[in-house]
Structure 1
Amino acid sequence: MHALSDPLRLSIVLSVLCEGEKTCGSFVIQAPKSTLSHHFRVLRESGVLSTRRQGKELINTVRKNDLDFLFPGLLDAVINGARPVVTSLYPHP
Structure 2
Amino acid sequence: MASAVDLPHPAASDITLGGILFALSDPERLAIARQVSGGPTDMAACAATDPDMPKSTRSHLFKVLRENGVIRNEPNGRRRTISLRRDEIDERFPGLLDAILGASAE
Any residues of structure 2 matched to 1:71-82 within 5 Å, and which? 71-82=93-104
Correspondence for 1:17 among 13, 37, 43: 37
Runs of 5+ in structure 2 lacking a partner? Answer: 1-20
More helix by share: 1
TM-score by length of 1: 0.83
- The structure 1 segments of at least 4 consecutive aligned residues displaced by more than 6 Å after TM superposition are none
Alignment partner, residue 48 of structure 1: 70
Provide the alpha-carbon RMSD of the alignment. Answer: 1.1
Any residues of structure 2 matched to 1:50-89 within 5 Å, and which? 50-82=72-104, 84-85=105-106
Q: Please report how far the alpha carbon of residue 54 of structure 1 lies from its aligned counterpart in structure 2 after TM superposition.
A: 1.0
Alignment partner, residue 15 of structure 2: none
Q: Does 1:34 align with 2:34?
A: no
Report the count of equivalent residues: 83
TM-score by length of 2: 0.73
